[in-house]
Structure 1
Amino acid sequence: MANKRVAILMSTYNGEDYLGEQIESIIKQSYHDWHLYIRDDGSKDQTPAIIEKYAKQDERITFFNKDNVKNKGITRSFMDLLSHVDADFYMFSDQDDYWKEDKVLHSLNKMLEQNYQSEPICVHTDLQIVDADLHGSEIMNGDYIWHDFPHLLFCNCVTGCTMLINQQLKNILHFDRINYDQIYLHDWWIALVAAAFGKVVYLEEATILYRQHGNNVVGENEKNTLGHLLYRVTHQVPEREHMRRVVRIAHELDTIYGKKLPGLDYQYVHHYGNLIYDGNPLHNLKLGIKLPPQRMTPKGKFFFTYLMMLYNSDLKNIAKE
C-alpha cells in the first residue's frame, strides 16, 4: 500500500456553501498519500478564496489554475485536470459532498485486488443520499448496477465522485481527440472506455455522503417505478435529450476507437452513432430489434426504440449542430 500516490481531482463552480466541508472530509481521510488538485471553473463567489486558504494550510492541496481561472464546463474541467496531473491512481471529487473517512483506503484496496498494472480498471462505489445538512440514510445503488458496455452505453450507473481509475485507463482516454461537446459527462466516457478495454469493478459500500440540495449537476438515479414510467411517457423532452446523448457518445466512441472496440461493442457504437447521418423510423425500428437498446427492463428497451422512431429528426439534426 505504501507509495501509491492518489490524485484527487476536484472541479468547483460557485461552491462556497459546502466546499469547506468537502475539503475537510478529504483532509480527514485515513489514507494519507493523496494530493488534491482543485480547478475552479470561473466562480463568482468566494470559492477561489476558500481554495487558496486550504492550499496555504496543507501542502497536499493545489489550486490548479489559480492564475488562469476560466469557465470550460464540468466535463472539460475534470478532463483538463486528469490530463495534466500525474499519479498512480486518480479520483474525482464534487465540491458539495462529504467523503467518509475510509473512502480512499477502501477504494484503493479494491483496486489493488485487480490486475491494475496491466489492465485498464475503474473502481466505483455506492453512495449514501443525504440532504443539505448531511442527514439521510438511503443508499443510491444497492444491487441496481451493471458493468457491461452495451448497458453502460444506454444508461450510466458509474458516478464520477465515487470513481478510482488507474494509469492504464488514463493512458487510453485520448484527451486531445475528444470532441467534448459530444460526451456529456466525463464519468460516462471513462466508464465506457474501461468497460470496452478493461474492467469496471463495483465496491458495494457507500463511501460518500451524496448531498442533494437542488443545485447538483447530476442528482439521484430514478428507479423504474410505474409512476416514473408514466412520467417519462408524458414528459418526453428529457428522454429525447438522453437519446441524443447516447447517439452522440456512440458516434464519438466510433470516431476515436472504431474497430479497436470489441465486436459487439463496436456494432453498437457504429450503428447507433451513424444515426446522426442516416436513418428513418423503419430503419430505427430494425436497429432496435437487431441491436436492442440495453435498458434494465423490456419496457425501457421498447421505450427507447419508440423514441428513435418517433423523433428520428432529433438524431439526424445532431450532425447539423
Structure 2
Amino acid sequence: MTPARSHGAIVMAAYSPDAELFGIQLRSLAQQTVRDWECIISVDGERAPVEALVAEFVGDDDRFRVIGDGSRRGFYLNFEHGLAAVPADAVWIALADQDDRWNDDKLARLLPHLDEVSLVSGQARLVQHPSGEVTGVTDRQDRGPMHTLLSNQITGSLCVFDREILSIALPFPRLSTRVATHDHWLGVVAGALRGTRIVDDVVQDYVQHDANVFGDPSRLESAGIAASVRNVLGQAERFEGSRSPKALARMTFWTYVGWRQVMLDTLQARLGTPDPDLDALFGRSRRFSRLNSLLRAARTDGSIPPRFALEYRASWLAGALSGGRRAAARLADQS
C-alpha cells in the first residue's frame, strides 16, 4: 500500500497563534486532496485559546485534535510532544507550522516519494505578512547525509516522512540552546535510514513575519558578523548564565560543532552501526583536518557561505578550549 493511500498524521506546533494566519493554515489543511489523516495540534502553553480557534475554523472536522497540558516546552520540544502522540496506525507524518498556507495538493505530490526514501521535502513561496508580497521561492537542495549534518536543508514545515523515523528520533536529543532544531535532527535520522529527497515542487506558502521562530534561512546568510556576535552573546547569557569568556566559548561550541556531535553520537548509539566517515567529521572521534577539507569543498561548490565556514571553525576552536567534546559525549550518552 502506497503512503498516499494510507492513514497519516499531520503534527502542528502551536503557540499563541495569530488568528488570521492560523485560520488560513487550518483551512488549507482541511482542503487537502489526500484526506485520510489526523492533525495533532500540540499547544505550547495555554490550551483553551487554541481550542477555541480550532473550533471556530474547522469545528465540524473531527480530524483535528488539540493536545497540551499548559506546560511551556519551547518550539523544539513541542514538536517532540506532538510526534509522541502520533497514533500507531499512522504510516506517514507531515509537519506543519501554525502560520503558513498549504497548496491543496501538497500531500498528494509528496507522499508517493516515500516509496523510495524516508523523508521528502518540497519548496515554498516566500510571502510577506501582512502585505502578501511574494519575495521569492525557496531553493533547498539535497546533497546527502554528510551535507545534511553539516548544513541542514530540510525544513520541517515542508517535509513528509515515514513512520520508521520515529522509532529512532524519539526522544529528541537534549541540548540547552536554541540551535537544537527538530527538522535538522529528523533529516539526519532519515539520511541514516532510506535517505532523503528534496523536490522542486512548490507545495505551500512560507509566511515571513516578525514572530517567526527562525524564518527562511536565506534571510540569515546576509546578516553579517555583527549579528552573529549579538546572537552568541544573547544565547550565552540565556543558556550559559553569563557573557564570560568561558560561557561564550561553550555557546560558540554548541552552536555548530557541539550540536552536530550530539546528533551523530545519539544516532549511532540508537542504530548500533557507527559510520566511520561521519564520525571522523562530526562525532566524538572527529578530526579537524577531515572537517576542514569538507568545509573548503562545501565553500567552493557554494553549498555553504563564507560566514558559515568561518563560524564553524571558530566553534571547533571554542570546543577545544572549553572541553566541549567530552561535554557533548555526555549529553549524547544521556539521550
* Alpha carbons of structure 1 residues 103 and 305: separation in structure 2 relative to 1, 3 Å: closer
Which shows bigger deviation, 96-105 or 36-45? Answer: 36-45
Q: 1:96: Cα distance to partner?
A: 0.5
Q: 1:191: Cα distance to partner?
A: 0.3
2:245: which partner in 1? none
Aligned length: 298
SS at match of 1:77: helix
* Alpha carbons of structure 1 residues 109 and 136: separation in structure 2 relative to 1, 3 Å: farther
1:128 aligns with 2:130: no
Which shows bigger deviation, 188-197 or 294-303? Answer: 294-303
Q: How does 1:109-188 map onto structure 2 within 5 Å?
A: 109-112=112-115, 114=116, 121-133=118-130, 135-142=132-139, 144-173=140-169, 175-176=170-171, 178-179=173-174, 181=176, 184-188=180-184
Which amino acid letter does the alignment assign opposite residue 70 of structure 1?
A: S
Which amino acid letter does the alignment assign opposite residue 78 of structure 1?
A: F
SS at match of 1:10: strand
Is there any run of 5+ residues in structure 1 with no aligned partner, and where?
275-282
* Alpha carbons of structure 1 residues 317 and 69: separation in structure 2 relative to 1, 3 Å: same
Q: 1:166: Cα distance to partner?
A: 0.4
Whether the 8 Å CA contact 1:156–1:188 is kept in 2: the answer is yes
Identity of aligned residues (%): 20
For residues 102 and 255 of structure 1, the distance between their equivalents in structure 2, rounded to whole angstroms, comes to: 35
Q: CA RMSD in A?
A: 3.3
Whether the 8 Å CA contact 2:102–2:203 is kept in 1: the answer is yes
Q: How does 1:1-321 map onto structure 2 within 5 Å?
A: 3-17=5-19, 18-43=21-46, 46-54=49-57, 56-65=59-68, 68-86=69-87, 87-112=90-115, 114=116, 121-133=118-130, 135-142=132-139, 144-173=140-169, 175-176=170-171, 178-179=173-174, 181=176, 184-222=180-218, 228=222, 231-232=224-225, 235-238=228-231, 244-252=254-262, 253-258=264-269, 260-271=273-284, 286=289, 288-289=291-292, 292=295, 294=298, 296-297=303-304, 299=306, 302-304=309-311, 306-308=313-315, 311-312=318-319, 316=323, 319=327
* Alpha carbons of structure 1 residues 213 and 307: separation in structure 2 relative to 1, 3 Å: same
Q: 1:309: Cα distance to partner?
A: 6.2
SS at match of 1:129: strand
Whether the 8 Å CA contact 1:75–1:180 is kept in 2: the answer is no
SS at match of 1:257: helix
Whether the 8 Å CA contact 1:122–1:200 is kept in 2: the answer is yes
* Alpha carbons of structure 1 residues 306 and 178: separation in structure 2 relative to 1, 3 Å: closer
TM-score (norm 2): 0.76
For residues 82 and 227 of structure 2, the distance between their equivalents in structure 1, rounded to whole angstroms, comes to: 40
Q: 1:287: Cα distance to partner?
A: 6.0
Whether the 8 Å CA contact 2:15–2:45 is kept in 1: the answer is yes
Which shows bigger deviation, 155-164 or 55-64? Answer: 55-64
1:279: which partner in 2? none
* Alpha carbons of structure 1 residues 108 and 129: separation in structure 2 relative to 1, 3 Å: same
For residues 298 and 213 of structure 1, the distance between their equivalents in structure 2, rounded to whole angstroms, comes to: 24
Which shows bigger deviation, 54-63 or 202-211? Answer: 54-63
* Alpha carbons of structure 1 residues 176 and 135: separation in structure 2 relative to 1, 3 Å: closer
* Alpha carbons of structure 1 residues 158 and 134: separation in structure 2 relative to 1, 3 Å: farther
Q: 1:8: Cα distance to partner?
A: 0.4
Q: Deviations over 1:77-134 (max 9, x none)?
A: 111221221201000110000111111111112323x1x5xxxx01001111001147
For residues 163 and 288 of structure 1, the distance between their equivalents in structure 2, rounded to whole angstroms, comes to: 28
Q: Deviations over 1:280-299 (max 9, x none)?
A: xxx85x56436647552583
For residues 305 and 178 of structure 1, the distance between their equivalents in structure 2, rounded to whole angstroms, comes to: 21
Whether the 8 Å CA contact 1:149–1:196 is kept in 2: the answer is yes
Which amino acid letter does the alignment assign opposite residue 105 of structure 1?
A: A
Which amino acid letter does the alignment assign opposite residue 111 of structure 1?
A: L
Q: Deviations over 1:127-180 (max 9, x none)?
A: 1100114723344433x523322222222111100110102222222x247325
* Alpha carbons of structure 1 residues 5 and 211: separation in structure 2 relative to 1, 3 Å: same
For residues 153 and 104 of structure 2, the distance between their equivalents in structure 1, rounded to whole angstroms, comes to: 23
Whether the 8 Å CA contact 2:11–2:40 is kept in 1: the answer is yes
TM-score (norm 1): 0.79
Whether the 8 Å CA contact 2:6–2:91 is kept in 1: the answer is yes
Whether the 8 Å CA contact 2:24–2:101 is kept in 1: the answer is yes
